[in-house]
A and B are shown apart, each in its own frame.
Chain A
Amino acid sequence: QKEVEQNSGPLSVPEGAIASLNCTYSDRGSQSFFWYRQYSGKSPELIMFIYSNGDKEDGRFTAQLNKASQYVSLLIRDSQPSDSATYLCAADNYGQNFVFGPGTRLSVLP
């Protein structure tokens, strides 16, 4: 059973701080990893994806991948109250579909 694990939170950070969201996956065959943001009552929105070991930066967001440790993370710099949402980590399933983690609820406090 392929699994993606996340700390459910809530993770609370003050405005302007760095929020660090973590994810581990069970299947070494997974090659691609995705971070989705889901506001309450809305559908998930793709914010980052990463295929290669190392870091990938996009604005205030940095995704990090360590395939040896089967670990993916998302850093949000200069966190804003508008970043408060649930963040879902997903791993590809041999290109067929995704396995989603349970999500981490992030709360950015003004």
Chain B
Amino acid sequence: SAVISQKPSRDICQRGTSLTIQCQVDSQVTMMFWYRQQPGQSLTLIATANQGSEATYESGFVIDKFPISRPNLTFSTLTVSNMSPEDSSIYLCSVDIPDRVGEQYFGPGTRLTVT
């Protein structure tokens, strides 16, 4: 599997501000995914980020609210824009390892609290 890191690990933000979350992998991967996990809930896919193309967003998530960058095969960012308390959640990135097709591995997550 790959080593995946996320920054920051946690943050407390004021409503109306934006936070950019970074995801770094120690090897090149094709697909990177961003999930949200609200307290006591399962994982909800926000978007899929492929290098060299626009991110694909799931129903209920829009680019203006969650812009994503994927500048290379080892790095991606997710921005949570114009935050409200409803955005308080854990945000997780995951990757699809090229030689382990179909298996996703998760980063440690970013715990976001919006006040």
Contacts and interface: CB of A to CB of B under 8 A. Distances in A.
Contact of A49 (B45, B92, B103, B107): B103
B8 to A, nearest CB: 15
- The number of chain B residues touching the other chain, given as a range, is 10 to 19
Interface residues of A, number: 19
Interface of A: 32, 34, 42-46, 49, 88, 90, 92, 95-98, 100-103
Interface of B: 1, 31, 33, 41-45, 48, 92, 102-109
29 contacts: A32-B102, A34-B102, A34-B103, A34-B104, A42-B108, A43-B92, A43-B106, A43-B107, A43-B108, A43-B109, A46-B104, A46-B105, A49-B102, A49-B103, A88-B43, A90-B104, A92-B102, A95-B102, A96-B48, A97-B31, A97-B33, A97-B45, A97-B48, A98-B104, A100-B43, A100-B44, A101-B42, A102-B41, A103-B42
